[in-house]
Structure 1
Amino acid sequence: MQDTTVRDVPPALGNPELTRRLAGRRPAVFLDYDGVLSPIVERPEDAVMSESMRTVVRDLATRVPVCVVTGRDRVVAQQLMGLDNLAVAGSHGFDIWTPAQGSLSDTHVARYTDLVAEVTEKLRDGIREIPGTHVEPKRASVAVHYRLAEPADRDRVTATVQAVLDAYSGKVKLTPGKMVYEIGPNVDWNKGKAVLYLIEALGLDGDDVVPLYFGDDITDEYAFRALHDRGIGILVGDADDPEMAGRTTAADFALASVDDVEDFLATLT
């Protein structure tokens, strides 16, 4: 498949081609959290979903399957959303939970608890003296946020992260994001594989179902590619945003903002 420049991706709202691809089929909706259900904010803990978005998502989930696939810690994402009727795959799909089945990954996640704890402490020690940084521990990974760090200090953050990667070479891997580095176990898993797993686990693999995935970050490209020829990928983000500059995507359609996501989901509802 050929990726497309972000600016050339057709809009999703009111697009007759997207309507045609949905016709006569039941949508299954997969959503990233930050940048999709809540705007990107300077402090990760402030990314609380709006009440109107919460209402739309809650209502949609009573009609079609809705799953959240996020880099966030699963429990934190559930707290920020304030919803308990959605399947959630946290830590880039590593930590999976559904309302009907409970955790589908506890045994797997537990294998890496000690490793993640060690890496978390190394990162805390390394960036302790760098203003504007924040270490976010998760069940299955750890993130270093540096959006509030001075540009001159960002190389120090990168060097600290690289030193930890070197110290645990072969045991961990790096997942970059928007002003964040995430380190987790070095296993062959990502958001795309999590979506495919959920499609099967939730019985959504019939020809009458069309999966839609909404994402804004580089890590969401795994899901866009995984759904190529079997679903619909929708990139969320303003093509004029500097963080989108020069980027290509495997998404089929685009929405410019979180508000547009809310409008689109309301239309589905």
Structure 2
Amino acid sequence: MRHFFSVGGESALAQVMCRKPLLAFDFDGTLTPIVSRPEQAFASKAVALRLHALSQLLPVAIVTGRTIEDARERLGFVPTYLIGNHGAQDENDPVKTAFLCEGLNPLREALQAHQAELAAAGVRVEDKGLSIALHYRLSRKRAQAVTLIHNLLAPLGSLIKVFAGKMVVNAMAKDAPDKADALRTLVQRSGASCAFFAGDDVNDEPVFAAAAEDWFTVRVGRDDPTSKAKYFLDGPSEMATLLDCMLAALSK
């Protein structure tokens, strides 16, 4: 990865912008900093205003681990597309949404049976319908919490897929689409010739790994030197400046 604000980054982005790409962004850790309590995260006015301006010129998508309903209240603008639950929640496909939600019922039963243990370990269970997040950021016994989580999930390995995040373990139905699947669908739906995508976490790596050569990918944070993203930002604080570069490229 190369830092976006280095030789070649801005000019490469300008070339992609000339092709009228789909612009897609993760939310937490990308458009807004990670916070200890997810309900306190909102896009800043600076970022929201720039994304609104871009959405008047190109299709803008938010592809987030949050539910669509939760994310919508935090953006400060109306995106062209909003995909939730790590790529699995698409308002255009309610039948599949219901099917994937039911696929997590065995996990719900297991978590209910061990509710007291999870609470004692400081694990907060967030059921988002198509995914279940097991947060341990506020736990005083993080190692114990992670062990408990994985012990509970292991017997369900044939039914679910599990991936880590920043102080969270996520579980979804085995055949649920990921963010890479969602981006491919949105590129086709929008009619765009290529895509820009920015994300910050493990569940964004499938997009970076599967991106076509002419896609522009950015990881927010330099914490993973093995990331398949082409460029990186030091943190969400640099996002508004990157959005300015997009708007400037479109104005030429």
* TM-score tier (shorter): 0.7 to 0.9
Cα separation, 1, equivalents of 2:41 and 2:163:
20
**Counterparts in 2 of 1:27 and 1:49: CA distance versus 1, 3 Å:** same
Q: What's 1:130 paired with?
A: 121
* Contact residue 127 and residue 160 of structure 1 kept, 8 A: yes
Q: What's 1:94 paired with?
A: 88
Asked whether 1:105 is paired with 2:93, we answer yes
Q: Give the alignment partner of residue 186 of structure 1, picking from 164, 171, 174.
A: 174
User: How many residues matched?
Assistant: 242
Q: CA offset at residue 23 of structure 1?
A: 6.2
Letter in 1 for 2:121: I
Cα separation, 2, equivalents of 1:160 and 1:109:
28
Letter in 2 for 1:10: R
Cα separation, 1, equivalents of 2:167 and 2:54:
31
Q: What does residue range 234-245 of structure 1 map to in structure 2 within 5 Å?
A: 234-237=218-221, 239=222, 244=223
Q: Give the alignment partner of residue 54 of structure 1, picking from 29, 44, 48.
A: 48
Q: Secondary structure at the match of 1:85?
A: coil
Q: What's 2:104 paired with?
A: 116
Asked whether 1:229 is paired with 2:219, we answer no
Cα separation, 1, equivalents of 2:111 and 2:53:
40
Q: What's 1:32 paired with?
A: 26
Cα separation, 2, equivalents of 1:68 and 1:219:
14
Q: Please, what TM-score do these two structures have when normalized by structure 1?
A: 0.82
Larger fraction in helix: 2
Q: What's 1:166 paired with?
A: 154
Q: CA offset at residue 118 of structure 1?
A: 4.7
Cα separation, 2, equivalents of 1:236 and 1:225:
15
Deviations along 1:132-176, one digit per CA (max 9) or x if unpaired, are x321110201101111212xx223322332233233231111021
| Displacement over 4 Å in runs of 4+ | none
Q: Give the alignment partner of residue 70 of structure 2, picking from 76, 92, 96.
A: 76
Q: Secondary structure at the match of 2:219?
A: strand
Q: Give the alignment partner of residue 231 of structure 2, picking from 239, 253, 267.
A: 253
Letter in 2 for 1:128: A
Cα separation, 2, equivalents of 1:24 and 1:129:
54
Deviations along 1:193-213, one digit per CA (max 9) or x if unpaired, are 110111112222x3xxx3111
Unaligned runs of 5+ in 1: 1-8, 97-102
Q: What's 1:3 paired with?
A: none
Cα separation, 1, equivalents of 2:35 and 2:190:
32
- RMSD between aligned residues: 2.0
Cα separation, 1, equivalents of 2:225 and 2:109:
33
Letter in 1 for 2:77: L
Q: CA offset at residue 117 of structure 1?
A: 4.6
The percent identity for this pair of structures is 26
Q: Please, what TM-score do these two structures have when normalized by structure 2?
A: 0.88
Q: What does residue range 254-269 of structure 1 map to in structure 2 within 5 Å?
A: 254-269=232-247
* Contact residue 132 and residue 171 of structure 2 kept, 8 A: yes
